[in-house]
């Protein structure tokens, strides 16, 4: 049929037909949109002065805030009551940020990130409640369910061509009802009360509770390695694998990506599945941190999920991501929240100050960019 008779780059998203000689790997020479993609994910931003790197700015802002808060309130450095809970929050919100980053890499959004987390947490809770599954099985189920729902979102976007904003918004509404119904049906309320063995340790222990002889670990919560693994995996995926780079190219310019023979449709599904998988991980982590698999998991994920990657230098328009920057973004917002809590701001003042500090942080980023451009360097 004529489907096979042509090799034009205008094939459908799922086409395997690739134009001759255009099936080259992503160029690494730093030119064009692909170059932008490679720059941000790579270990070093080629051609930019070090101070124009948004991550450096974030580290400086975080350091200044930590110094300021701890001199105003020495309790900021209290290990048990401040630093351990702070690390737990950062771990959860970094993973939430990475989940959004996976969608942002395409220039898409995942507005259902919280509800995907809720559904994943429900699945884990169901495994524990009904089948007495060990902790790790629930985690795997949560990841799989998250990835499947994400892939479904990606599939709908690819198949219909409808904007990701609309698709994930609709999915969010749908899942809101589904999650409530599922809890109603299977948990007889809004939460599973079951606690699999190991959950309490995972929730409240730090490595300092585990000793080999007289040497104990650092006061780092057991949840933190989950976020580190996610960070490493996402960083390597976008920075080192062909699939990851193809996703970024798709984000930069779907048309160019298609013309280069990238299976755009499949990459969209992959990116959204990754987003769902990470949302599932975040849901599992939050359920662990809060101590129950309940329907309210993920309700507060949406705004922080955008804040962390955007602060860290991920572009809303797609094509450039920074996994490490996302962790820094999550750290910044958590540090601000913690510090202002310690200073006992009133509810309204707290919101205003968080807004102000974020605007300042983003403005500094923009100032750095402008300065870099004036010096003749194109970021």
Distance CA(301)–CA(296), nearest Å, equals: 11
294 binds other proteins (CB under 8 A): yes
What b/e readout covers 299-321, taking b as 16+ CB neighbours within 10 angstroms? Answer: eebbebbbbbbbbbbbbeebbbb
Q: How far apart are the first and last CA of the chain?
A: 47
182 binds other proteins (CB under 8 A): no
Distance CA(198)–CA(273), nearest Å, equals: 28
Q: Which of 40, 258, 267, 338 binds other proteins (CB under 8 A)?
A: 338
Distance CA(271)–CA(282), nearest Å, equals: 16
What b/e readout covers 17-31, taking b as 16+ CB neighbours within 10 angstroms? Answer: ebbeeeeeebeeeee
Contact region for other proteins (CB under 8 A) — 26-34, 165-173, 336-344, 364-372? Answer: 336-344
In DSSP terms, 138 is beta-bridged to none
Measured from the Cβ of residue 74, the count of other Cβ atoms closer than 10 Å reads 11
Residue 210 CB, nearest distance to other proteins (Å)? 4
**What mask of x and - would describe binding to other proteins in positions 190 to 209, judged by CB under 8 A?**
xx-x-------x-xxx--xx
Residue 287 CB, nearest distance to other proteins (Å)? 9
What tokens appear for 376 in the block? 């003749």
* Pick 81 or 367: Cβ nearer other proteins: 81
16 binds other proteins (CB under 8 A): no
**Whether the Cβ atoms of residue 9 and residue 258 lie closer than 8 Å to each other:** yes
* Pick 82 or 168: Cβ nearer other proteins: 82
How many binding residues for other proteins (CB under 8 A)? 49
* Pick 102 or 183: Cβ nearer other proteins: 183
* Pick 144 or 195: Cβ nearer other proteins: 195
Interaction residues for other proteins, span 91-120 (CB under 8 A): 92
**What mask of x and - would describe binding to other proteins in positions 70 to 89, judged by CB under 8 A?**
---x-xx-x-xxx--x---x
* Pick 37 or 335: Cβ nearer other proteins: 335
**Whether the Cβ atoms of residue 128 and residue 194 lie closer than 8 Å to each other:** yes
> Residue written as tokens 């996302």?
326
* Pick 7 or 201: Cβ nearer other proteins: 201
Contact region for other proteins (CB under 8 A) — 48-56, 212-220, 265-273, 308-316? Answer: 212-220
* Pick 128 or 183: Cβ nearer other proteins: 183
**What mask of x and - would describe binding to other proteins in positions 298 to 327, judged by CB under 8 A?**
-xx---------------------------
* Pick 121 or 157: Cβ nearer other proteins: 121
Residue 138 CB, nearest distance to other proteins (Å)? 17
Residues in CB range of 369: below 8 A, 6 or more apart: 52, 379
Instruction: Give the gyration radius of the chain's Cα atoms.
Output: 22
Distances 16 to 9, 152, 168, 260, 263 between C-alpha atoms, Å: 10, 21, 27, 12, 7
Give the residues lining the site for other proteins (CB under 8 A): 43, 73, 75-76, 78, 80-82, 85, 89, 92, 179-180, 183, 189-191, 193, 201, 203-205, 208-212, 216-217, 232, 286, 289-292, 294-296, 299-300, 337-338, 341-342, 344-347, 350
């Amino acid at each position: 049929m004529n489907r096979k008779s042509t090799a034009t780059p205008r094939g459908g998203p799922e086409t395997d037909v690739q134009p001759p000689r255009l099936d080259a790997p992503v160029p690494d020479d730093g030119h064009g949109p692909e170059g932008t993609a490679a720059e941000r994910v790579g270990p070093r931003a080629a051609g930019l002065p070090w101070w124009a790197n948004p991550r450096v700015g974030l580290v400086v802002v975080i350091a200044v805030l930590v110094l300021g808060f701890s001199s105003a309130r020495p309790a900021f450095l209290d290990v048990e009551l401040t630093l351990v809970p702070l690390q737990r929050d950062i771990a959860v919100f970094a993973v939430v940020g990475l989940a959004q980053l996976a969608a942002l890499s395409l220039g898409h959004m995942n507005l259902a990130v919280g509800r995907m987390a809720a559904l994943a947490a429900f699945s884990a809770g169901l495994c524990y409640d009904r089948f007495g599954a060990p902790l790790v099985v629930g985690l795997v189920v949560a990841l799989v369910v998250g990835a499947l729902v994400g892939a479904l979102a990606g599939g709908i976007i690819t198949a219909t061509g409808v904007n990701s904003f609309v698709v994930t918004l609709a999915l969010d509404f749908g899942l809101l009802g589904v999650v409530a119904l599922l809890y109603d049906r299977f948990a007889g309320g809004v939460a599973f009360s079951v606690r699999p063995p190991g959950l309490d340790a995972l929730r409240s222990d730090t490595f300092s509770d585990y000793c080999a002889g007289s040497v104990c670990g650092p006061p780092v919560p057991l949840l933190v390695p989950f976020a580190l693994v996610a960070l490493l995996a996402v960083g390597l995926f976008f920075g080192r694998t062909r699939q990851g780079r193809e996703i970024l190219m798709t984000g930069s310019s779907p048309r160019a990506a298609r013309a280069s023979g990238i299976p755009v449709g499949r990459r969209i599904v992959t990116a959204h599945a990754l987003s769902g998988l990470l949302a599932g991980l975040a849901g599992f982590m939050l359920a662990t941190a809060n101590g129950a698999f309940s329907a309210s998991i993920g309700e507060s994920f949406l705004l922080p999920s955008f804040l962390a990657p955007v602060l860290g230098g991920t572009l809303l328009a797609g094509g450039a991501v920074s996994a490490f920057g996302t962790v820094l973004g999550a750290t910044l917002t958590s540090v601000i929240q913690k510090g202002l809590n310690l200073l006992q701001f009133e509810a309204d003042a707290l919101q205003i100050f968080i807004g102000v500090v974020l605007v300042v942080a983003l403005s500094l980023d923009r100032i750095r960019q402008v300065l870099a451009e004036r010096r003749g360097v194109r970021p």
